[in-house]
Amino acid sequence: MKYCSSCGRTVTYRVPLHDNRERAVCDSCGRVHYRNPLVVVGCIPERNGRVLLCKRAIEPRYGKWTLPAGFMELGETVAGGAARETLEESLATVELGRLFALVDVIDAGQVHLFYTGKLVSDYGAGEETLEAGLFAENEIPWDEIAFRSVAFALRKFFEDRDGPVHVHELRRTHRSQPS
């Protein structure tokens, strides 16, 4: 950020009074601009032991498989965002269950939240999806999963469908891996 979103003047990066982190501070009006993690919400839609996956029609990871998920919008709940993203990406309606997994994706500045969900409608390919399909655990294209957070959530789902919320932290390793 170079300019203040309030007055348009330049910002300087410094630690504001009574703070402990460097922030973009407007040189003119003094507004402090905070950068906080983005929230990604989604679900694991299930029908008869099979989960619904979507093949991405957008970057990043075009052509890779993922769970229906995306950025939470202002004015919606976490659960509402998960249901909306499922409908947008897979044209499917779900009855959301419990919060199942929380993944801190540190290097991307994101928090990913996944719910369980009962698939209660037909499904298809939404605007951001090339194709959608139901997969049993042994049919999942594990080498073609778009994001490590999705692979984590899927593995935990099949390991422990009725267990606690699974919390995980992802950081980059020495070699470049997608988050």
Q: What is the pLDDT of residues 20-78, one digit of tens each?
A: 999 999 999 999 999 999 999 999 999 999 999 999 999 999 999 999 999 999 999 99
Assess whether 64 and 135 both reside in one domain. Answer: yes
Secondary structure element (H or E) that encloses residue 153, with its range: helix 148-159
Residue 174 pLDDT exceeds 90: no
Q: The domain containing residue 58 runs over which residues?
A: 38-170
Cβ partners under 8 Å of residue 33, min gap 6? 1, 4, 5, 11, 23, 24, 25, 26
Q: What is the pLDDT of residues 97-107, one digit of tens each?
A: 999 999 999 99
CATH number for 1: 2.20.70.10
* pTM for this entry: 0.85
How large a percentage of the chain has pLDDT more than 90?
Answer: 89
Band (175; pLDDT cuts 50, 70, 90): low
Structure-block tokens of residue 45: 């839609």
CATH number for 102: 3.90.79.10
Per-residue pLDDT at 34: 94
Assess whether 95 and 160 both reside in one domain. Answer: yes
Assess whether 24 and 60 both reside in one domain. Answer: no
When the pLDDT of each residue in the chain is averaged and rounded to a whole number, the result is: 94
- Counted domains in the chain: 2
Assess whether 156 and 127 both reside in one domain. Answer: yes
What CA–CA distances, in Å, run from 88 to 54, 91, 132, 145? 11, 6, 12, 19
Assess whether 15 and 96 both reside in one domain. Answer: no
Assess whether 119 and 50 both reside in one domain. Answer: yes
